[in-house]
Amino acid sequence: MHVVIAGGSGFLGQVLQEKLLADGNQVTVLSRNAEKIRQTDRMQAVEWLKQGSRPEENLENVDAIVNLAGESINGFRWTKQKKERIIKSRMEATGEIIRLIEKLESKPQVLINASAVGYYGMSDTDTFTEKSTSNASDFLAGTVQKWEEKAAEASRLDVRTVFARFGIILGNKGALPLMALPYKFGIGGTVGSGRQWVSWIHVEDAAGMIKFAIDTPAIEGPLNVTAPTPVQMKNFGKVIGSVLEKPHWLPVPEFALKLMLGEMSSMLVSGQRVIPEKAMENQYDYLFPDLKEALKDIFSV
């Protein structure tokens, strides 16, 4: 199988590459800096999103496209400029994916387009599955809704389209090292009220579910890429402390986070309880369904 990955050099993209190559697939990474990517017989890099680049001229017999490209939502604050980059990067990359599919003589069977559980909005009480609709109007929800609308244009080209709504991806990069840092200094504790839900997934399962979605024709539309066991923030912190053998005692009040991070603090003080119903119905076999075991693996405890 020939899989094209946009955003393939990032945290999740690298793990996905390894899984696909280990199974004997051909992988092409779309990159602005293709010359910096190590290439082999089964791994190539093609330039895109640069003036004059025409990636379609270097792609043949594409079976699947995975779009993980976009400006990271992490940072210190969501300034007006940061928000514009977050939205523009996603719309630009996804629009180019649609153009690419239009140009390919042989269409891919499936497009897996990154998305996020932020689609559902924030709630301490509701439970969301892929059947849930959204009336949320916050920045993250609005961004995801626009992103999915653009990706859905692949459907008119008879390409099966999957919106991979990622929860918090846990690994040795991304959000987890920052969340664990206070514990390593012995000052970890509950963030905000502690009631907010954390819908998480180990990076190995995040990559595994993408591959599973590629290989499973029954999966189409929204796919919650989360573990089946979301936890509330107070318990999430306790598990980090337990695995690292550090105390969980110093709370971080919501007002302090809002003062320091502004609107971006919503990622920490709010959340949503998301259940991966489609993955469970289609019998995806989780490597790490339990948070403690997932953290033990990541921290190698």
Interval 164-186: pLDDT, tens: 999 999 999 989 998 999 999 99
Residue type, 183: Y
What's the average model confidence in pLDDT over 83-107? 97
Token pair listed for 32: 């602005």
Number of Cβ atoms within 10 Å of the Cβ of 172: 11
Residue 113 sits in a domain whose CATH number is 3.40.50.720
- Please tell me the total count of domains within the chain: 1
In the predicted model, is pLDDT for residue 50 greater than 80?
A: yes
pTM of the predicted model, to two decimals?
A: 0.96
Residue 232 β-bridge partners: 197
What's the average model confidence in pLDDT over 244-273? 92
pLDDT of residue 301: 55
Token pair listed for 140: 């993250």
The answer to which of 107-111, 171-175, 257-261 has the lowest mean pLDDT is: 257-261
What's the average model confidence in pLDDT over 134-157? 95
Beta-carbon contacts of residue 269 (< 8 Å; ≥ 6 apart): 191, 192, 193, 196, 254, 257, 258
Sign of CA dihedral 271, 211, 62, 20: positive
Beta-carbon contacts of residue 211 (< 8 Å; ≥ 6 apart): 16, 19, 20, 23
Q: Which domain holds residue 170?
A: 2-299
pLDDT of residue 257: 87
pLDDT of residue 36: 79
- Radius of gyration (C-alpha) of the chain in whole angstroms: 19
What does the alpha-carbon distance between residue 186 and residue 189 come to, in Å, rounded to a whole number? 9
In the predicted model, is pLDDT for residue 97 greater than 60?
A: yes
What's the average model confidence in pLDDT over 69-83? 90
In the predicted model, is pLDDT for residue 39 greater than 80?
A: yes
pLDDT of residue 35: 81
**More confident site: 247 or 39:** 247
pLDDT of residue 277: 98
What value does the mean pLDDT of the chain take?
A: 95
In the predicted model, is pLDDT for residue 20 greater than 90?
A: yes
Q: Buried b / exposed e across 151-167, counting CB within 10 Å, b at 16+? A: bbbbeeeebbbbbbbbb
Q: Buried b / exposed e across 245-276, counting CB within 10 Å, b at 16+? A: ebebeebbebeebbeebeebbbbbbbbbbbbb
Sign of CA dihedral 204, 202, 226, 29: negative
